[in-house]
Structure 1
Amino acid sequence: MLPSAVVTVLNDPIARAQAYLLSHQAPEGHWVGELEANTTITSEYLLLCHLIDRVDRPKEAKAVRYLRRAQLSDGGWSLFEGGPANLSATIKAYFAMRMAGVSVDDPALAAARERIREMGGPVRADVFTKILLALFGEYDWNGVPAMPVEIMLLPRPFFLFNIYEVSYWSRTVIVPLLIIMDRKPVKWLPPHLALDELWPEPREKTSLRFPRVPKPFSWRTLFWKNFFIAVDDGLKIWERFTTRPLRKRAVEAARVWLEERLAVPGGLGGIYPAMANSILAMRVLGYADDHPLVLGQIKEIEALAVETHEELHYQPCPSPVWDTALAINALIESDLPPTHAALRRAAEWLIDRQILVPGDWQVKRPHVRPGGWAFQYHNDFYPDLDDTAMVLMALEKVHGLDTDAARLAKERGLGWLLGMQGEDGGWASFDADNKRLYLNNIPFADHGALLDPSTEDLTGRCLELLGTLGYHREFEPAQRALHFLRHTQRHDGPWYGRWGVNYIYGTWSVLRGLRAIGEDLRHEYVQRAVRWLERRQNRDGGWGETCESYDDPEFAGVGESTPSQTAWALLGLFAAGRTSGRTVERGIEYLLRTQRSDGSWDDRLWNGTGFPRVFYLKYHLYAKYFPLWALGIYRRAQA
């Protein structure tokens, strides 16, 4: 097909996609789509309502209908669409339905019960599930890893552990948990609600000891795992004999830390688990149910609800800053005029969301001035590098803004981003140099997501920003980032994706960064990534990757095609100079074929990553702006 004919074919799909996106802009100027998670958030919410005596039976019934619909044919509940049953998710859903009044003889619960027992029962569940069960007296607190509240008193440079050596999401969950686990409260259930039926063997005969052999096995992790199990044994003794004045000081330190962060809008850390734990911690400390700090967290949680006439479920957090920055980039890259009123309104909304106050990140970077953006509407203590980079690229592309305000916002944002580069040359999400990987072996960290190290996708994004702002590969921070990326590339070509599924996401992020910063795209390591993307194209012309690739690298780049992942692959190929050829044409044909009449696309499968192997997400707007972005760049290249 001649280039002029290609452009003509693309004009209508692009115009319809732009119109769809513009029609979903909020009156305030931003975009925000649903951030869908698995059933665990909704199950935990139902159980939280019982713990704090705020059960709303009509809403509970709607949530139970949602849980029923999400149940797998084998009786379990999964962590992502198309995934296998997960023990912890299944226990939480089962427990929530029992507490909602569903009969133990109900076929859904009978099937779930059998699946739970097959998978090993509560003793094989993750730590957070055990803690939730312990709060109802359904798990022995002695079987939960020790987390003494005295951790709050450890000095920041302490070599082994302190709260600033773990990620922000871990920190905001752990600090209120320290208060809870110090008091070990129990809301005892009536006998008919006890969960004895979930234990394959009688619970009094079941060992609650932590497994000592790591999976996957390595001698290094075997050492650290058993070292920390021994530490846990010692901490349990410490908890019994520590002096009360010391413990009182530690609880007060945790309370003060918590109050400081609850006083700002958005909820603790802007995420459901931290907010829920903070409510329980405040109640344990004696705060009244109608205390403004308690009510504030409840209000933030209720704002996460997605309710229809029949069902109710909960998001982990909102994503307005991220969605808005990506929508702006997609619209401009598909040639919506950069002076368009919708883009100016969105950019002004973003400028107003810039965070100019200190946060936890300053512990590691005390001399860096604030200037980042958070993911949510409000999360002043926890701006992140990914949002900041994407926002700054959006602001650089929009025209017609207040010159001084935009310039100052970009200067502050870039200064913060450069100041947060890690010692290894990469960028992490929320903190710098949060990389004590041995801490992932403590019994409490069985989820393996305790830390926030530098990642390939973030580093690629920051390189793309620097290139967009006119910096070149000789710029010293860029040199360090390039070194990081060359050393973290997988042997067969792709890069890992921490925040999107998975290697396709990481690879497009890096390739766009390499192109923007002026790297020689003829380098073998770049071409290796290109060849990997080309090999992973599906027969239908699209690309897809299952969340299972986080557990088994053999699934890297393997999965049912989705519009978002197809767009990422195409954007990566375009960045590497591949804007023609049959591979690209088939990818474009897939996007045109799967576009809906209203101009949108839909991802059937999950496309985002909260915590690899533990918690996955579906960004509902990803399939609305990423395909548009890819089509726009392709049209521009053909023209």
Structure 2
Amino acid sequence: MSDERPGAENRRDLQQRARLALDQLRGELLDQRTSDGHWTGQLSASALSTATAVSAIAATIVHGQEFSSPFCVSQVSRGMDFLRTQQNADGGFGDTDRSLSNIATSYLVLAASELAIKAGCQPLDDHSRDRLDDYILKGGGIEGLRRRYGTDKTFVVPIMTNMAIAGLIDWDDVASLPFEAAVFPQSMYRFLQMPVVSYAIPALVAIGQTRHFLGRRTFWPWRMVRAAAVNPTMKVLGKMQPESGGYLEATPLTSFVVMSLAVTGRSDHEVSRRGLKFLADSMLDDGSWPIDTNLATWVTSLAIDALASDPEDDSKWYSDELLDWHLSCQHLTRHPFTGAEPGGWGWTDLSGAVPDSDDTPAAILALAHAKKRCKNLDSIRSIDLAIERGQRWLLKLQNRNGGWPTFCRGWGKLPFDRSSTDLTGHAVRALSVKTGQEINSEAAIKRGAKFLSKSQQADGAWLPLWFGNQDRPDEDNPIYGTSKVLMAATSVGGRAGLSQAAVDRATRFLVESQNSDGGWGGGNSIASYWTLRGSDGDKAVISSVEETALAVDALASALIANQTLPSSPRNGPIAGGNARRDQAIIGGVQFLLSSIDQKRHQVPWPIGFYFAKLWYYERLYPLIFTAAALGKALRSEVLRKHPPPYTPQDP
């Protein structure tokens, strides 16, 4: 029987368009798999990483000639060729080719150029150098660099070390780091008030030693203590280095270690040799380096969750090979880098990965989806065992304030070691997964909810840790953080423990944050990017695909929860009005459909942070996030209830 009601055809059109678009995305996503069924993705080339790698290799050429090779010279030359293509119009350099300039990357490129000269390679030309100097001067120079990082020395001291190696500043300008503290057991690190975050111990050791050798001498008794700590802490450095040679699989961290050993005449050390090999192996074809080798485990977990969100999921993503690979990524021994107990997952299957509280929940949720498709009883038991290990690992990591940090419980107060809202929301979702053996997680979930309640901003938003928006003054990303917490609050049937008022405030925040183009997030940088490329005719594109997809996913998840939960005072109308929420979802879906038509979903945007606000983008993020959003929108009633066209609400 045909539907003759006004707008019925439009409703069917929107549903059909979303269904066709999701089918397209599924095909694109499945095509990105490796031969054993998982995803590797591709991280953006990074001017920051490239500059540090160039400096490290050039320092080895200059200070340890006998350990370098013609290939090293070629790497420096190719790296400089790449950097010459990355200078922004303002004269500075950003972390990626879609990033705004920042003083940290600009200083690192300047140091790389100086070291390239010393290594006999071509530096930046005079015009580029003058423009770079002008950008740094306008940015406040060294004081501007210090302001960017505040009291956190995790990145500012390595940058200044790089500059001292290049001869740009004096060694006495570089802060001294307490490398001798690394002789203590890892379990004591959190009590020692380290000036760097938990995962920067290799830099603490290598750079701290370099400053000890080349900077102003400390007073006699302490100088002897430090001298005695050199060899023991070098053993720590070796113990923490993975088989690949790359600390955390990260180019910047590994480069800082290699250049520090080179300038102190230790290029022959095994740590340096392995680090140089890692840099050689991880160089991309265009002469650049990414910030990390890959995020294979992370993007695979996200891809599975997105594909399983489709109401018509045919499970073609599942295979026994994929399951075996995912299970193999779980860390089953105490980790030498952080001392983490067995049971967690890191971001990649490579040896430099470290288990953390974002990748572990993502893997647990992915395995829960795989369990529903698996037919082998032994494999199902393996899945349950892996999930239970992961959940116990998460329970032990929870901080006293109820939130989850990234790597180490109770480490300190620096930004990347504190409890964070996005990680806590993710952990709560994972702890709600049921297996054959019940894990007592109710108390942990309630404590997590209490932390989230206290962390909610006055406007209803939550601020995340590992994702940002470069157009915001503080480079934070409330769309990402709010979406992730709202997904947790609504996907576990109220077990997240957040009050309805908190959920309503978060929903209102997302609805009221919608842009005039129907999407979310973004800003001037993305508007300029697409304007230059003439995207979508004369229509201004402000929003990012990634942030829009996350907001649609979260709002649709809230709608689905209200559809499936029994009626109660807790499941009442969303603040701001259900109609406004539903219209916001429709506007977001239409933005995503337009983006797919324009192929904007194939152009990832730098919303990801690495440590110390190091920006990156990942090729699969817009594809994965959009597939999840359309799947949730199709599962909800919204595309059947309201006809387009969508008219955004005035602010």
Question: Is the TM value for this pair above 0.5?
Answer: yes
Question: Which residue type is aligned with residue 161 of structure 1?
Answer: L
Question: Which residue type is aligned with residue 246 of structure 2?
Answer: G
Residue 109 of structure 2: aligned partner: 93
Q: Which runs of 5+ in 2 are unaligned?
A: 1-6, 62-67, 146-155, 469-476, 526-540, 560-577, 641-651
Residue 617 of structure 1: aligned partner: 616
Partner residue of 2:322 out of 323, 326, 346:
346
Residue 230 of structure 2: aligned partner: 251
Question: How does 1:409-448 map onto structure 2 within 5 Å?
Answer: 409-435=386-412, 437=413, 440=414
Residue 161 of structure 1: aligned partner: 192
Q: Deviations over 1:551-609 (max 9, x none)?
A: xxxxxxxx9311110011111112222697321111101111111588x8134531111
CA distance in 1 between counterparts of 2:381 and 2:397 reads 24
Residue 180 of structure 1: aligned partner: 210
Between 465-474 and 396-405, the greater mean CA deviation after superposition: 465-474
Partner residue of 2:430 out of 432, 452, 465:
465
CA distance in 2 between counterparts of 1:107 and 1:288 reads 34
Between 332-341 and 464-473, the greater mean CA deviation after superposition: 464-473
Q: Deviations over 1:72-100 (max 9, x none)?
A: 21211134666653223223223433525
Partner residue of 2:55 out of 47, 61, 68:
47
Distance 1:94 1:133, change over 3 A: closer
Question: How does 1:196-595 map onto structure 2 within 5 Å?
Answer: 239-242=218-221, 246-262=225-241, 264-265=243-244, 267-280=246-259, 283=262, 289=268, 293-308=271-286, 312-335=288-311, 337=313, 339-340=315-316, 342-359=318-335, 369-379=341-351, 382-398=354-370, 399-400=373-374, 402-435=379-412, 437=413, 440=414, 449=415, 451-469=416-434, 475-501=442-468, 502-519=477-494, 523-545=500-522, 560-577=542-559, 581-595=582-596
Residue 554 of structure 1: aligned partner: none
Deviation at 1:113, TM superposition (A): 2.2
Deviation at 1:503, TM superposition (A): 0.8
Name the TM-score, length of structure 1 as normaliser: 0.79
Q: Deviations over 1:19-39 (max 9, x none)?
A: 111111012332122222641
Distance 1:37 1:485, change over 3 A: farther
Secondary structure (helix, strand or coil) at the match of 2:399 reads coil
Question: How does 1:66-85 map onto structure 2 within 5 Å?
Answer: 66-79=82-95, 84-85=100-101
Q: Deviations over 1:53-80 (max 9, x none)?
A: 1464554444334323321212111346
Deviation at 1:158, TM superposition (A): 8.0
Deviation at 1:177, TM superposition (A): 1.9
Partner residue of 1:143 out of 142, 155, 173:
173
Name the TM-score, length of structure 2 as normaliser: 0.77
Distance 1:160 1:358, change over 3 A: closer
Distance 1:285 1:253, change over 3 A: farther
Q: Does 1:606 align with 2:571?
A: no
Deviation at 1:611, TM superposition (A): 3.8
Distance 1:76 1:245, change over 3 A: closer
Deviation at 1:317, TM superposition (A): 3.7
Q: Do 2:247 and 2:352's aligned partners in 1 also have CA atoms closer than 8 Å?
A: no
Distance 1:413 1:83, change over 3 A: closer
Deviation at 1:42, TM superposition (A): 0.7
Q: Do 2:43 and 2:292's aligned partners in 1 also have CA atoms closer than 8 Å?
A: yes
CA distance in 1 between counterparts of 2:81 and 2:272 reads 28
Q: Do 2:346 and 2:354's aligned partners in 1 also have CA atoms closer than 8 Å?
A: yes
Residue 445 of structure 1: aligned partner: none
CA distance in 1 between counterparts of 2:202 and 2:542 reads 35
Distance 1:130 1:283, change over 3 A: closer
Distance 1:106 1:159, change over 3 A: closer
Residue 529 of structure 2: aligned partner: none
Deviation at 1:252, TM superposition (A): 2.1
Q: Do 1:131 and 1:144's aligned partners in 2 also have CA atoms closer than 8 Å?
A: yes
Secondary structure (helix, strand or coil) at the match of 2:409 reads coil
Between 313-322 and 120-129, the greater mean CA deviation after superposition: 120-129
Question: Which residue type is aligned with residue 367 of structure 2?
Answer: L
CA root-mean-square deviation? 3.2
Residue 25 of structure 1: aligned partner: 33
CA distance in 2 between counterparts of 1:509 and 1:545 reads 17
Q: Which runs of 5+ in 1 are unaligned?
A: 186-235, 441-448, 549-558
CA distance in 2 between counterparts of 1:474 and 1:116 reads 50
Question: Which residue type is aligned with residue 86 of structure 1?
Answer: N
Residue 534 of structure 2: aligned partner: none
Between 88-97 and 522-531, the greater mean CA deviation after superposition: 88-97
Q: Do 2:242 and 2:351's aligned partners in 1 also have CA atoms closer than 8 Å?
A: no
CA distance in 1 between counterparts of 2:628 and 2:113 reads 42
Q: Does 1:119 align with 2:167?
A: no
Distance 1:11 1:632, change over 3 A: same
Between 381-390 and 36-45, the greater mean CA deviation after superposition: 36-45
CA distance in 2 between counterparts of 1:160 and 1:547 reads 43
CA distance in 1 between counterparts of 2:492 and 2:556 reads 15
Q: Do 1:324 and 1:346's aligned partners in 2 also have CA atoms closer than 8 Å?
A: no
Q: Deviations over 1:390-428 (max 9, x none)?
A: 001000001216223222211211111111111111111
Q: Do 1:261 and 1:268's aligned partners in 2 also have CA atoms closer than 8 Å?
A: yes
Give the % identical residues. 24
Q: Do 1:268 and 1:278's aligned partners in 2 also have CA atoms closer than 8 Å?
A: no
Q: Deviations over 1:188-210 (max 9, x none)?
A: xxxxxxxxxxxxxxxxxxxxxxx
Deviation at 1:179, TM superposition (A): 2.5
Deviation at 1:345, TM superposition (A): 3.0
Deviation at 1:466, TM superposition (A): 2.4
Residue 213 of structure 1: aligned partner: none
CA distance in 2 between counterparts of 1:430 and 1:23 reads 33
Q: Deviations over 1:247-292 (max 9, x none)?
A: 3431122112111122544622322233223334555787564x65
Deviation at 1:351, TM superposition (A): 0.5
Q: Do 2:346 and 2:359's aligned partners in 1 also have CA atoms closer than 8 Å?
A: yes
Distance 1:56 1:264, change over 3 A: closer
Question: Which residue type is aligned with residue 566 of structure 1?
Answer: T
Deviation at 1:136, TM superposition (A): 3.1
CA distance in 2 between counterparts of 1:456 and 1:108 reads 41
Deviation at 1:111, TM superposition (A): 1.6
Question: Which residue type is aligned with residue 453 of structure 2?
Answer: R
CA distance in 2 between counterparts of 1:26 and 1:494 reads 37
Secondary structure (helix, strand or coil) at the match of 2:615 reads strand
Q: Do 2:95 and 2:614's aligned partners in 1 also have CA atoms closer than 8 Å?
A: yes
Secondary structure (helix, strand or coil) at the match of 2:605 reads coil
Deviation at 1:389, TM superposition (A): 0.3
Between 141-150 and 570-579, the greater mean CA deviation after superposition: 570-579
